[in-house]
Amino acid sequence: QSALTQPASVSGSPGQSITISCTGTSSDVGGYNYVSWFQQLPGKAPKLIIYDVTKRPSGVSNRFSGSKSGSTASLTISGLQTEDDGDYYCSSYTFTSTSNWVFGGGTRLTVL
Amino acid sequence: QITLKESGPTLVKPTQTLTLTCTFSGFSLSTIGVGVGWIRQPPGKALEFLTLIYYNGDQRYSPSLKNRLTITSDTSKNQVVLTMTDMDPVDTATYYCARRPSSWYTLDFWGQGTFVTVSS
Length of chain B equals: 120
pLDDT of residue A95: 80
Tell me the mean pLDDT in the region B40-55: 96
3 state SS of B90: helix
List of chain B residues whose C-beta atoms are within 8 Å of the C-beta of residue A51:
104-106, 108
B6 pLDDT exceeds 80?
yes
List of chain B residues whose C-beta atoms are within 8 Å of the C-beta of residue A104:
46
Q: How many CA atoms lie within 13 A of A38 on its CB side?
A: 26
A8 touches B: beta carbon within 8 Å: no
Quote the CA–CA distance of A59 and A8 in Å, as a whole number: 27
A37 touches B: beta carbon within 8 Å: no
CB contact (8 A) between residue A101 and residue B111: no
pLDDT of residue A1: 63
Residue B109, min C-alpha distance to chain A (Å): 7
pLDDT of residue A100: 85
In a mutational test of the B interface, the residue from A49, A94, A100 whose CB has the highest number of chain B CBs within 10 Å is: A100
B60 touches A: beta carbon within 8 Å: yes
Residue B49, min C-alpha distance to chain A (Å): 6
Q: How confident is the model at residue B44 (pLDDT cuts 50, 70, 90)?
A: very high
Quote the CA–CA distance of B87 and B68 in Å, as a whole number: 9
Tally of CB atoms within 10 A around A76: 14
B81 pLDDT exceeds 70?
yes
Query: Under a CB-based contact definition with an 8 Å cutoff, are residues A16 and A51 in contact?
Result: no
In a mutational test of the A interface, the residue from B22, B106, B108, B115 whose CB has the highest number of chain A CBs within 10 Å is: B106
Chain A, chain B: beta-carbon pairs less than 8 Å apart: 66
DSSP H or E stretch at residue A33: none
Q: How confident is the model at residue A97 (pLDDT cuts 50, 70, 90)?
A: low
Quote the CA–CA distance of A4 and A6 in Å, as a whole number: 7
A95: closest chain B residue by CA: B105
pLDDT of residue B27: 96
pLDDT of residue A59: 96
B98: closest chain A residue by CA: A46
List of chain B residues whose C-beta atoms are within 8 Å of the C-beta of residue A27:
none
